[in-house]
Amino acid sequence: MIIYCMVLIARLCRKKYEMQERKVGLNMSDILVEIEGSGKHCHVKRETLDILYGKGFELEVKKWLSQPGQFAAPQKVTLVGPRGSTELTIIGPCRKVDQIELSLTDARALGFDPPIRESGDVAGSPGCKLIGPQGEVETSDGVIIAKRHIHLTPEDAEKFGFVDKQIVKVRVEGERALVFDEVVARVSPEYATYIHIDYDEANAAALSGDPPMGLVLS
């Protein structure tokens, strides 16, 4: 009887963890967050915009983005790399540093070898030439591959049990189902809760759904 009980407990325990691993179906407590795929784009500092578009130029709003206050401008900039050039959308408003976010596919085509970094962490990354209608700038750094991340409001972070800088995983279902590891959680009252990946990552997962959703795993 005792042995039977022990075997039964062991089996139930095993079953539970197998079920967790397979994620068969979703539970009420599963954390589903909308995923956005970000194309190549750049952020510019005030001084850079002054040169590219003229002193005091203000970026216009073509489309508001999911993160509060952030917008895609109709203004473009030409990025020149060692092997080619491409047009980039400017994301406003101006930031403290110039930051050019490419996918690895973009980077290789243009001849860059950028590091995978969190936004704002551009030290030691490659520089580039940016050309606007009023002038051009040679940046000393700024070209990065964005580290995949999840923006969280403090309320959602608390609800989900995540802290700022925590590395989490995100499972995407579908024909190219996968689990992204190394997703950094970023918590701020200035954020809205969204998962951000780049186009290589979105295509590797054949991201679909309206909107596409990711299951966040700690």
If binding is defined by CB under 8 A, does position 180 make contact with a copy of itself?
Answer: yes
Cα–Cα distance for residue pair 111/131, rounded to 1 Å: 17
Which one of 24-32, 66-74, 84-92, 100-108 is the stretch in contact with a copy of itself (CB under 8 A)?
100-108
- Rounded to 5°, the CA angle 175-177-183 comes to 145
CA angle, 204 then 113 then 52, to 5°? 100
User: Can residue 166 be called a binding residue for a copy of itself (CB under 8 A)?
Assistant: no
Choosing from 31, 150, 205, 216, the residue that interacts with a copy of itself (CB under 8 A) is 205
Q: Does 9 bind a copy of itself (CB under 8 A)?
A: yes
Minimum Å gap between C-beta 113 and a copy of itself is 12
Q: Which residue of 10, 26, 123, 163 would you call a contact of a copy of itself, by CB under 8 A?
A: 10
Strands (E) in the chain, as ranges, are 31-38, 41-43, 63-64, 71-80, 85-92, 99-101, 116-117, 129-131, 136-138, 143-146, 149-152, 167-172, 178-187, 194-198, 213-217
Q: At closest approach, how far in Å is the CB of 150 from a copy of itself? A: 15
Question: Would you count residue 210 as binding a copy of itself (CB under 8 A)?
Answer: no
Site for a copy of itself in 38-77 (CB under 8 A): none
Integer angstrom CA distances of residue 74 from 56, 89, 100, 119, 141: 17, 7, 17, 22, 24
Query: Does residue 121 belong to the site contacting a copy of itself (CB under 8 A)?
Result: no
For residue 83, which of 110, 112, 113, 114 has the smallest C-alpha distance?
A: 110
Residue 176 in contact with a copy of itself, rule: CB under 8 A: yes
How many chain residues bind a copy of itself (CB under 8 A)? 33
Binding footprint of a copy of itself on the chain (CB under 8 A): 2, 5-6, 9-10, 13-14, 17-18, 20-21, 103-105, 116, 145, 147-148, 175-182, 199-201, 203-206
